[in-house]
Amino acid sequence: MKLKIKIKRAYEPAAKSDGRRILIDRLWPRGLTREAAGIDEWAKDLSPSTALRRWFNHDPELWGEFVDRYREELAVPAARLALGRLRTLASSRRVTLVYAASNRAYNNAVALSTILDGRAAPRRKGKPCST
């Protein structure tokens, strides 16, 4: 099943072609009002833990390990339920995963899209995480 997933930074203007805009950050984007963000849903339960986010710190060397650890965090029942709901939604309509990070290549929206598609991220040896 092909998922209709788009990824967009929270600070980019919303567009009709975005479909349902889902913020997947644990923190609300700085300096952005709800109206300006055009967010339809805030899925905190699909965002990486604070400890994992801080450990990763958008370091490309840690990318594969970050995706693996994020996938493990999403294995808890509440997150699995939310992930299944998102997968079902994205199979029938366009969903835009919205994130606030400035790094466009290495962020939790890209990681979540990878996880939803069942793809593997490149594996690199990372430093210990205190999650």
Answer whether residue 111 shows pLDDT above 60: yes
Among left, alpha and beta (phi > 0; psi -120 to 50; other), residue 84 is alpha
Q: What is the pLDDT of residues 34-50, one digit of tens each?
A: 889 999 999 999 999 99
The predicted structure's pLDDT at residue 122: 52
CA distances to 39, 46, 76, 93 from 28, in Å? 11, 14, 23, 25
CB 69 within 8 Å of CB 131: yes
The predicted structure's pLDDT at residue 32: 95
Q: Name the percent of the chain in helix, strand, coil, to the closest 5.
A: 45, 10, 45
Mean pLDDT lowest for which of 66-75, 104-113, 116-125? 116-125
Domain range annotation of the chain:
5-117
The predicted structure's pLDDT at residue 2: 86
Predicted model pTM: 0.87
Average pLDDT over the chain reads: 90
